[in-house]
A = this chain, B = another copy of it.
Amino acid sequence: MAEDQSRLLDFACRLADAARVETLGRFHQGCAAENKAESGAYDPVTEADREAERVMRALIEQHYPEHGIAGEEFGEKAGQGPWCWSLDPIDGTRAFVFGLPSWVTLIALLEQGRQVIGVIDVSRLDERYVGGPAGARLLRDSGEAPLRVSNCTSLAEARLTTTDPALFGADEVDGFGRVRDRVRLIRYGLDAYGYARLAAGTIDLVIESGLKPHDYNALVPVVRGAGGIIADWNGGDEFAGGRVIAASTQTLFDEAAALLA
């Protein structure tokens, strides 16, 4: 089984390679965004999103036709057996549209609903964060290195990030404000890249709400493989509610979760 998972992780990296061709080739090229939101909102999607998901789905159907697939742009395909791929071709489409380098491709493999392999591929930066049962690593063209979270145990010393402070609901915004007022530094706008840098030890805490399965599935093996904590706001695995905290240590997680409660 360990050997199986090593082969599946290699395959996940092949999916990321294929997605890069579609995304990087359109980045900074005036790739037009359309609005996929309903009723007044604006939720951009580009040809890069669609083509990257299309090539990943085609590779999975070719090599693992019995696996299920759940992708952000083209929905769910039921599989036969325990395995299902979760795909977000471009997490951070807003960053992509702004010409910023922090957008990523998210790839996860689930076994009976449990995230066992995750890839956060930061194409523009040539940084690929992979996690699984054997731990987590950062892969670059120039080599690879193990990922390890920081040892931060106190909000007073913590580097916090969240994608957009306006995304918290009315029942969440006060709790987030209590955390924000206690941390050393805060940055915004990173989407999944914040979790990648948490795994790498340069961010200590990520707090978000409203995440969908294709947003969070790939993060779990990377953060846990790097020794970090990732859980719902109650400390459990109920990610389906969309509320996620990632922290470099359990002590830091608990301090943040208590203020959010």
Contact = CB atoms under 8 A, between A and B. Distances in A.
Interface of A: 28, 30, 42, 44, 94-95, 97-102, 124-125, 159, 161, 164-165, 184-190, 193, 197, 200-203
A18 B101 CA distance: 24
A99 B200 CA distance: 9
B189 A99 contact: no
Contacts of A201: 30, 99
A141 to B, nearest CB: 14
A42 B42 CA distance: 36
Given A97-B159, A187-B188, A187-B189, 13 more contacts: A28-B200, A97-B202, A98-B159, A98-B185, A98-B197, A98-B203, A99-B203, A101-B125, A124-B125, A125-B125, A164-B186, A164-B188, A188-B189
Contacts of A203: 98-99
Contacts of A95: 187
A44 B187 CA distance: 13
Contact of A94 (B98, B101, B165, B185): B185
Given A101-B125, A102-B100, A94 B187 contact: yes
A42 B188 contact: no
Nearest to A125: B101
Contacts of A30: 201
Contacts of A190: 100, 189
A99 B102 CA distance: 12
A67 to B, nearest CB: 34
A75 to B, nearest CB: 25
Contacts of A28: 200, 202
Contacts of A202: 28, 97-100
Contacts of A164: 186, 188
Contacts of A42: 184-185
10 contacts: A28-B202, A30-B201, A44-B185, A94-B185, A94-B187, A98-B197, A98-B203, A99-B203, A164-B188, A188-B188
